[in-house]
Chains A and B, each alone.
Chain A
Amino acid sequence: MSGASRFRRNLLLVLSVQLITLVLLWLLQQSYTP
């Protein structure tokens, strides 16, 4: 895999991980905070 394609793949993963993390944190807050 070339450097540029690895960078694009990583970019997509970054945004996905970021989104998943924020959703999980949001669910954590909503589920347990009165």
Chain B
Amino acid sequence: MHWLNWVIVVGWLAYVVTHGIRRSKGTSSPDGYFLANRSLPWWAVGLSVMATQLSAVTMIGTTGQGATDGMRFVQFYFGLPLAMVILGVTIVPFLHRAKVYTAYEFLERRFDAKTRSLTAFLFLVSRAMSCGTIIAAPAVVFSTIFGWKIAWSVALIGIPAVTYTIIGGVQALTWVDVKQMFLIVGALLAVVITLLVQIPVSPSVALHTAGNMGRLRVFDFSFSLTNTYTFWSGLIGGTFLMLSYFGTDQSQVQRYLAARSVDEARNSLLISAYWKIPLQALVLLVGVLVFVFYQYHPGPLLFNPAYERAVQRAAPAVYADLKSRYDSSTVPFEREALRGEALALAGRITHEPAKDVNYIIPRFVIDHLPIGLAGLFIAAVIAAAMNAISGELMSLSTASVVDFYRRWIRPAATDEHFMLVSRTATAFWGLFACVVAAYAVNLGSLIEVVNRFGSFFYGSILGVFLLAMIPRARAIGAFVGLIAGMLAVAAVNFGAPSVSFLWHNVVGAVVVVAIGFPLSLLRE
């Protein structure tokens, strides 16, 4: 990549770290560090909430999915606006008025300490591993494309994010998120405009090309419990998923707890409700246009350079034949079939399920974007990763300190002591995430297991919060309901009966309430 692009990347990283440190005034108490003294305006909280969900995986994986699978993934978010409106009148006022640091702290006030500790523990286990994958996904891609050691890629993303998070807490990361959201959206729009200029046909013909290959098929109105991307699973399953994520996940809850008032907290969530679907559509559209671009320009047969090298080395004649047929073909269906053949060959040679969806956009950016814009896009990918990782680190640190250290080990101490422990906890989780990311290639299946385990209890924790809003619900009902909910999700997860993961949250939440509420009545 041209040196000017690297100047842009390094310049941006230096700017955000400095900006984060400058914004860390007033964060020398736990209230300031964890909740920004409840002083943040709704629009900053709202943009920060959006930024946390928009990780590097969105920038390179979801755009890639747009190129290979089209726009239908956007259905996944159809439940989000509804979930935001529901949360605005239910969980948000409960949590904000309770003046808690974590969502789980509220559960002790409403139920008991063991329900709080179990939910906080489940959160820590799942988030600790997902933190690693947030950094690992772009780090692996950068390493492969630029030929770096993976540790350097991890350091490039991890060190700036961990630095401003340790120093400035929620306040610093929120203001950094705001700046980075503008960078990310600006970079996506710039790429769309560049693609429209570089594709040698009119936008209408380009869209017809995409449409003919099914890339503009958005809606699937079939009702299927096993298909993740349908209108109904997005609307119903997606609503429950978003309720769980925004209503009970500390990485999201912590943001709106930092808002100035309940109304500002509610309004902050509505920013996601407005813009999440259009933003995801824009992200997918980038991928669709890149797909169209490669119908008119020569492109790699395999976008992952590691696969390309492996196939060229192991089966040079077969690769050369596939490549010449691919380059000479002008029929999109035929080109797609040849790419499928090449991927299958790469899978047989590398003994792994060969997918190169995460490499499509980075390769396009490096090979075809003009100088400056490529640097801007790479900076936006790193920015997205930093936004996600800083939010996760902050929530891990808060839950560790508030729900465990201060609850069980040292209930009373000075602010200075808690600040030292909090910053140490943030540093620890930052280091942990970087180490997991650096070894992600070897830990692949372990991370998958932990992430899968995490999906067992998302909906179940939502069920506990729903129970908390029912006046007659009791602690025993919440605790037993939570266990029952997780077991039910584990059962459907292992195929008895088999349903798509978007429905797991519905199952978990419903089982917790269905078991927990009657049990509460019995124990009255």
- B218's partner among A10, A15, A25, A34 (CB-CB below 8 A) is A25
**Does B217 lie within 8 Å of A33, measured CB to CB?**
yes
Contacts A3-B261, A18-B277, A21-B278 given; indicate if A11 touches B214 (C-beta within 8 A): no
Contacts of A10 in B (CB 8 A): 267, 270, 274
Shortest CB-to-CB span from B288 to chain A, Å, is 10
The segment out of B120-128, B203-211, B352-360 that lies at the interface is: B203-211
Chain B residues 370-427 with CB under 8 Å of chain A are: none
In the complex, B8 has a CB within 8 A of chain A:
no
**Does A14 lie within 8 Å of B212, measured CB to CB?**
no
Contacts A17-B278, A25-B281, A33-B211 given; indicate if A4 touches B263 (C-beta within 8 A): yes
Contacts of B210 in A (CB 8 A): 32
**Does B211 lie within 8 Å of A21, measured CB to CB?**
no
In the complex, B71 has a CB within 8 A of chain A:
yes
Shortest CB-to-CB span from B75 to chain A, Å, is 9
Shortest CB-to-CB span from B231 to chain A, Å, is 10
Interface size on B, residues (CB 8 A): 30
**Does B216 lie within 8 Å of A21, measured CB to CB?**
no
Contacts A25-B74, A33-B217 given; indicate if A11 touches B277 (C-beta within 8 A): no
**Does B85 lie within 8 Å of A11, measured CB to CB?**
yes
**Does A29 lie within 8 Å of B84, measured CB to CB?**
no
In the complex, B81 has a CB within 8 A of chain A:
yes
In the complex, B15 has a CB within 8 A of chain A:
no
In the complex, B138 has a CB within 8 A of chain A:
no
Taking CB as reference atom, which chain B residue is nearest A5? B263
Shortest CB-to-CB span from B44 to chain A, Å, is 15
**Does B216 lie within 8 Å of A14, measured CB to CB?**
no
Q: Provide the A11-34 mask, 1 if CB < 8 A to any CB of B, else 0.
A: 101110110011001101101111
Shortest CB-to-CB span from B395 to chain A, Å, is 25
Shortest CB-to-CB span from B82 to chain A, Å, is 8
- Chain B at the A interface: mostly helix, strand, loop or mixed? helix
Taking CB as reference atom, which chain B residue is nearest A17? B274
Contacts of B214 in A (CB 8 A): 33
**Does B218 lie within 8 Å of A18, measured CB to CB?**
no
Shortest CB-to-CB span from B283 to chain A, Å, is 13
Contacts of B270 in A (CB 8 A): 7, 10-11, 13-14
**Does A13 lie within 8 Å of B211, measured CB to CB?**
no
In the complex, B69 has a CB within 8 A of chain A:
no
Contacts of B148 in A (CB 8 A): none
**Does B212 lie within 8 Å of A34, measured CB to CB?**
yes
Shortest CB-to-CB span from B474 to chain A, Å, is 32
Shortest CB-to-CB span from B74 to chain A, Å, is 7
Contacts of A3 in B (CB 8 A): 261-264, 266-267
Contacts of B261 in A (CB 8 A): 3
**Does B219 lie within 8 Å of A25, measured CB to CB?**
yes
Q: Provide the B271-284 mask, 1 if CB < 8 A to any CB of A, else 0.
A: 00111011001000
Contacts of B216 in A (CB 8 A): 28-29, 32-33
Q: Within the assembled complex, what's the spacing in Å between the Cα atoms of A18 and B239?
A: 14
**Does A21 lie within 8 Å of B277, measured CB to CB?**
yes
**Does A7 lie within 8 Å of B267, measured CB to CB?**
yes
Contacts of A7 in B (CB 8 A): 88, 263, 266-267, 270
Contacts A7-B88, A21-B277 given; indicate if A14 touches B81 (C-beta within 8 A): yes
Contacts of A6 in B (CB 8 A): 263, 267
Shortest CB-to-CB span from B281 to chain A, Å, is 6
Taking CB as reference atom, which chain B residue is nearest A18? B81
**Does A14 lie within 8 Å of B264, measured CB to CB?**
no
Q: Within the assembled complex, what's the spacing in Å between the Cα atoms of A4 and B85?
A: 13
26 residue pairs of the A-B complex, CB under 8 angstroms, read: A3-B261, A3-B263, A3-B267, A7-B270, A10-B274, A11-B85, A11-B88, A13-B274, A14-B81, A14-B84, A17-B275, A21-B281, A25-B74, A25-B219, A25-B281, A28-B216, A28-B218, A29-B71, A29-B218, A32-B207, A32-B208, A32-B216, A33-B211, A33-B212, A34-B211, A34-B212
Given contacts A32-B210, A34-B211, 16 further A-B contacts (CB under 8 A): A2-B263, A3-B261, A3-B262, A3-B263, A3-B264, A7-B263, A13-B274, A17-B274, A28-B207, A29-B216, A29-B218, A29-B219, A32-B208, A33-B214, A33-B216, A33-B217
List the 3 closest A-B pairs by CB distance, nearest first. Answer: A3-B263, A32-B211, A14-B273
